[in-house]
Every structure is written in structure tokens, then in C-alpha cells.
């Protein structure tokens, strides 16, 4: 006997946005398509399954927050009683959506640990909202707070020390704490672009100094001197932000965001680097000769070696400034 799996709606108090995103990831479709499909519930997801496979589908869908039922149709001998036009009508009335065929249901990703959050306005003007449980704290880039509940209290801290502050190698971080009751904070990065989230489990990620947005208080932030070769001649900052430990980490980009897996050698323009994982060695160099360096418009690049991840932004601030320079108003000689 075959079975079919049917979604009847959202289960319990699960947030529809999160459930829709998980459903889209599960069946490898866009979130907009997932929202359209779930709006038509009850919705047949798959039919013609044996009992064990149908149960796997049901469990996976229920785990992401959907109300699901497994339907066992009438036995074959009874279904044969539907004949001629009646059988054709029955087929017309049951045209379920079927996602791309899979041999077994894809694994449902485990619930993301850490703070509950949502990102809106992406990819052009990403806005981060984080829900803080009572008496919990979050570190936020200075001046990035846009909205917050009245229960939140703020403290300002300097990462890197006073000595590095005088040389521009420090990082101001505000700590927001939800005193006694839960609270919500809205965070707006300075640069127009996307936001990335990584949950650190003892790993280390290096960020360009302007990329840091927010993190869990258990994540340790340090400033790392790059030296004159990697810092001054790169045309970028003298230092990187070293984020390590356990917990949520958010960082932003100027423009869109692309995550790259590096295994071996890879070259990225220094102005497009947002972040990279520990274990990747890097050096600053030029693409071609000195003629290319000064006249090609490419400038210097970062050469990565090793295995890890690199996050790049689709726009570079220096390139935009060069482009906009020709449109600036100028005074005409009188």
C-alpha cells in the first residue's frame, strides 16, 4: 500500500518566516516559491511512498515547524471501483506539487544555536534584529544601534587599548544588556550592503576592521597588526579584527556578499576582502609588473594559501570613490 505526505499548515508557535526559510532549504527552492506553496496548504508534498519513507518525510517536515500528516489511500481493490469519467475527475482534483525527486528525504539542518535573530532589507540595506533573553548581553559596533527596547542598558568598551587608539588600531564596542526582562535590538551597519552570520564553535575568523557588526559576549575580539607590508601598502586598514571563541558573529559588506571555499591558492583584490578563516596564510602583492600596478587600475591583491573560507564583497569603497570623483561639483573660473 502506498502513502502520501500532506502539509496542513504551520505547527504551534513556530515563526512562519523561519519555517518557510527552512522549507525552502529542504527542497532547494527559493523562499518566495516556498511561501507561495505553503500559502496553499493543505498541500500534498509526495505520494506513492512506502510507510517508512513517508514517515521520514513527515518527521523532517515536522521538525522544521510544519503540521504534517501521512495519508494511506484506499486499498487497490477498492480504488478500482472508480472507473471511467469518475476516475479522470478524481485525477484532476488531485494535482499535488512535487518537489524535485529525491531518493531519500534530505536532512533537516539542526536548530541554529545562539540568539534568535532576523535579517531584513538584504542584500542592499541589510538590517539585523536580535532578540535578547533576560539578563543576556550582546556586543555591537559603535554607532550601529538603530532601535532597542527600553529594558536594554548600554556600556562602551575599547578593544585594543589606549595605545592603539592613538594610532587608529582600536575598536569601540557597545555592550547592550537586557536587564531582568527580554528585549530586542535593531542594528544598522554603516555600509550599504549585505550581512553575514557565522556561529563560532572555537574557530577564528579575521575581519577587515570596518566589517564587524555584532557578536555574542563569549566571542573574543582582538585587533591584529598587519605590518607595513600587509597594511600600509594594501591601501586598507593597518589592522584586522580577530574574532574567536563560541557564539554568534555578524559582519557586513559593502555591496553583495559571496562566500568562497579556498583549497590551495586564491587571489582577491584587497578592497573586496571582508573576512577569512584562520588557517589561510595571506600575502600582499601586485597582479603584474609595476606598469600594471600604476596604470591597470587593479592595484594590489591578497594571495591566500591553504584551506578555509573567504568572504568577499561585490563592491569596493575605493573603486566607488574613484568612479564618483568625476561627478563631483567643481568651481568654474570667474
How sure is the predictor about 261, in pLDDT bands with cuts at 50, 70 and 90?
very high
Q: Are the C-beta atoms of 34 and 24 separated by less than 8 Å?
A: yes
Residue 4 makes CB contacts below 8 A (sequence gap 6+) with 44, 45, 46, 47, 48, 49, 54, 70, 71, 73, 96
The closest of 233, 224, 192 to 205, measured between CA atoms, is: 224
Residue 231, pLDDT > 50, answer no
Copy the grid coordinates of residue 64.
522544521
Measured CA to CA, the distance from residue 111 to residue 175 in angstroms comes to 26
What pLDDT is stored for residue 53 in this prediction?
83
Measured CA to CA, the distance from residue 80 to residue 77 in angstroms comes to 5
What pLDDT is stored for residue 132 in this prediction?
95
Residue 236, pLDDT > 50, answer no
The closest of 72, 300, 38, 95 to 29, measured between CA atoms, is: 38
Copy the grid coordinates of residue 77.
481493490
Domains of the chain: 3-93 (3.30.1390.10), 116-324 (3.60.160.10)
Element containing residue 264 per DSSP (H, E): strand 257-269
Per mean pLDDT, which range of 45-54, 82-91, 269-278, 324-333 is the poorest?
82-91
pLDDT tens string 123-160? 889 999 999 999 999 999 988 999 999 999 999 887 65
What pLDDT is stored for residue 20 in this prediction?
86
Q: Are the C-beta atoms of 309 and 276 separated by less than 8 Å?
A: yes
Q: Which residue has the cell 556561529?
A: 199
Residue 83, pLDDT > 70, answer no
How sure is the predictor about 119, in pLDDT bands with cuts at 50, 70 and 90?
very high
Q: Are the C-beta atoms of 142 and 174 separated by less than 8 Å?
A: yes
280 C-beta neighbours (distance < 10 Å), count: 17
Q: Is the dihedral of CA 211, 215, 217, 218 positive or negative?
A: negative
| Backbone φ and ψ of 272, nearest 5° | -105, -5
What pLDDT is stored for residue 332 in this prediction?
66
What pLDDT is stored for residue 287 in this prediction?
67
Quick one: what percent of the chain has pLDDT higher than 90? 33
Element containing residue 61 per DSSP (H, E): helix 51-63
| Backbone φ and ψ of 250, nearest 5° | -120, 140
Averaged pLDDT score across all residues of the chain: 76
pLDDT tens string 262-296? 999 999 888 888 999 998 988 877 765 544 444 44
What pLDDT is stored for residue 90 in this prediction?
40
The closest of 256, 270, 265 to 314, measured between CA atoms, is: 256
Query: Mapping DSSP to helix (H, G, I), strand (E, B) and coil, where does residue 150 land?
Result: coil
What pLDDT is stored for residue 333 in this prediction?
59
| Backbone φ and ψ of 62, nearest 5° | -65, -35
Residue 48, pLDDT > 90, answer no
User: Is this structure's pTM higher than 0.75?
Assistant: no
Mean pLDDT across 167-192? 84
What pLDDT is stored for residue 122 in this prediction?
85
Mean pLDDT across 178-196? 93
Mean pLDDT across 112-121? 88
The verdict on whether omega for the bond into residue 142 sits within 30 degrees of 0, i.e. cis, is: no
Residue 57, pLDDT > 90, answer no
Amino acid at each position: 500500500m502506498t502513502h502520501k505526505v500532506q502539509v496542513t499548515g504551520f505547527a504551534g508557535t513556530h515563526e512562519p518566516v523561519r519555517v518557510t526559510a527552512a522549507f525552502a532549504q529542504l527542497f532547494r527552492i527559493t523562499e518566495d516559491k516556498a511561501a507561495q506553496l505553503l500559502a496553499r496548504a493543505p498541500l500534498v508534498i509526495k505520494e506513492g511512498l512506502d510507510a517508512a519513507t513517508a514517515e521520514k518525510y513527515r518527521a523532517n517536515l515536522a521538525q522544521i515547524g510544519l503540521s504534517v500528516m501521512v495519508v494511506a489511500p484506499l486499498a487497490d481493490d477498492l480504488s478500482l471501483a472508480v472507473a471511467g469519467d469518475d476516475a479522470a475527475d478524481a485525477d484532476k482534483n488531485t494535482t499535488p506539487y512535487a518537489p524535485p525527486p529525491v531518493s531519500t528525504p534530505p536532512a533537516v539542518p539542526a536548530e541554529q544555536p545562539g540568539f534568535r535573530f532576523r535579517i531584513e532589507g538584504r542584500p542592499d540595506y541589510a538590517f539585523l534584529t536580535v532578540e535578547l533573553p533576560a539578563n543576556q548581553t550582546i556586543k555591537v559596533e559603535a554607532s550601529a544601534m538603530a532601535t532597542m527596547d527600553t529594558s536594554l542598558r548600554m556600556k562602551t568598551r575599547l578593544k585594543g587599548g589606549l595605545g592603539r587608539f592613538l594610532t587608529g588600531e582600536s575598536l569601540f564596542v557597545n555592550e547592550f544588556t537586557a536587564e531582568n526582562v527580554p528585549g530586542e535590538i535593531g542594528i544598522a551597519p554603516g555600509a550599504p550592503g549585505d550581512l553575514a552570520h557565522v556561529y563560532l564553535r572555537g574557530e577564528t575568523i579575521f575581519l577587515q576592521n570596518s566589517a564587524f557588526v555584532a557578536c555574542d559576549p563569549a566571542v573574543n575580539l582582538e585587533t591584529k597588526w598587519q605590518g607595513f607590508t600587509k597594511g600600509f601598502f594594501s591601501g586598507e586598514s593597518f589592522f584586522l579584527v580577530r574574532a574567536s571563541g563560541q557564539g554568534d558573529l555578524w559582519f557586513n559588506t559593502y555591496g553583495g556578499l559571496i562566500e568562497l571555499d579556498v583549497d590551495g591558492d586564491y587571489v582577491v583584490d584587497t578592497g573586496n576582502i571582508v573576512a577569512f578563516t584562520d588557517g589561510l596564510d595571506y600575502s600582499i602583492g601586485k597582479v603584474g609588473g609595476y606598469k600594471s600596478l600604476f596604470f591597470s587600475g587593479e592595484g594590489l591583491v591578497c594571495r591566500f594559501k591553504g584551506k578555509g573560507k573567504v568572504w568577499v564583497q561585490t563592491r569596493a569603497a575605493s573603486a566607488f570613490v574613484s568612479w564618483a570623483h568625476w561627478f563631483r561639483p567643481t568651481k568654474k573660473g570667474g
